[in-house]
Chains A and B, each alone.
Chain A
Amino acid sequence: MRAPPLVPTVLRNLLRKPATNPFPKTEPVPIPEDFRGMITYNVDKCVGCRMCVNVCPAGVFVYLPEIRKVALWTARCVYCGQCVDVCPTGALQMSRDFLLASYDNKADRFIPLKPEKVEELRKKAEEAKKAKERGKTTKNTAKKGR
């Protein structure tokens, strides 16, 4: 008499560990290689070309003309990755973070460019502008003097 064909499978399944991933105690289930997580923004690399503002379907980006940078609110992001593809300098990158639950949808982690940093950049831009103007006027006066 032959053994029933299910017996080896049943025995194997009896000895196997549960398939559940006990997540908060251990690492999450491994994510795929090209996973698109939260956007990271490098302010210094940004040249203010406005490509991301044009391409974003969710209106994450707001262009700040005074300092030629973009402000982001990534709580609205749909992780399509188009801004990363279109960014000419690589200032926008996709990280691999996805555990993003929070008590506040205007938390710091959803706003990569902070208002204080914007103020700082604005002051710098104004100073640069003034210096430029001063340089021009001094040149002009020098020309006139001749």
Chain B
Amino acid sequence: MAITVPANGGSNSPELERLERRIAQLCRFIGRSPWVFHINSGSCNGCDIEIIAALTPRYDAERFGVKLVGSPRHADILLVTGPVTNQSLERVKLAYEQTPEPKMVIAVGACPTGGGVFYESPFTNAPLDRVIPVDVYVPGCPPRPEAILQGVVLALEKLVEKLKGGSEK
């Protein structure tokens, strides 16, 4: 991603260095505290309820810094539930494109991982990896909150690896 520096500060190399350092810091910050956007692509609400259960004090996903945000533009991780119905197909793609890099996509539930009971329906586009690239799959109908947490932790490990790989280049 290209970083544009204001014209008057372009010749000023310390300013540029400071900016780069700040961005590196931000990247490291993202590696520790990811924000999550939840896309419901025609789900039956079972998985959505389990995601909310994972945020309750009993399971407390916010220990990892995970927070549900209201816009994909703020998010690092996308949680997709549901079998990607034809009506939600465009919206899922749009939300994926709006998410800034580096991003992780987690497919929660049997529907986005393999199709679930909608596997032969002409109105769904399951599995999700036919639509957008998916990093972590969490099967289950619905998965227990611990399984979702484990998926988030796996995604975090992958995200950190991605960030480290990016900084080495």
Residues of A at the B interface (CB closer than 8 Å) are: 18-24, 28-29, 31, 57-59, 73-79, 98-105, 110
Contacts and interface: CB of A to CB of B under 8 A. Distances in A.
B136 A102 contact: yes
A75 B60 contact: no
Nearest to B138: A101
B146 A98 contact: yes
B58 A98 contact: no
A-B pairs with lowest CB-CB distance, top 6: A76-B114, A101-B151, A75-B114, A78-B141, A28-B146, A105-B137
Given A24-B150, A58-B119, A105-B114, A100 B60 contact: no
A74 B139 CA distance: 9
B141 A29 contact: no
A100 B158 contact: no
What secondary structure prevails in chain B residues at the interface with A?
mixed
Contacts of B149: 23-24
Interface string B121-152: 00000010100001111111101101111110
A102 B58 contact: no
B62 to A, nearest CB: 10
A53 to B, nearest CB: 14
Contacts of A74: 139
Nearest to A110: B139
Contacts of A18: 57
5 contacts: A20-B59, A31-B144, A77-B110, A98-B146, A101-B143
Contacts of A21: 58-59
What secondary structure prevails in chain A residues at the interface with B?
loop
A20 B60 contact: yes
B135 to A, nearest CB: 7
B115 interface: yes
Nearest to B149: A23
B95 interface: no
B16 to A, nearest CB: 37
A22 B64 CA distance: 11
B63 interface: yes
A9 to B, nearest CB: 18
B81 to A, nearest CB: 14
A145 B84 CA distance: 69
Contact of B139 (A22, A28, A105): A105
A99 B119 CA distance: 23
A103 B127 contact: no
Contact of A24 (B129, B140, B153): B153
Nearest to A18: B57
Contacts of B117: 57-58, 78
A1 B117 CA distance: 65
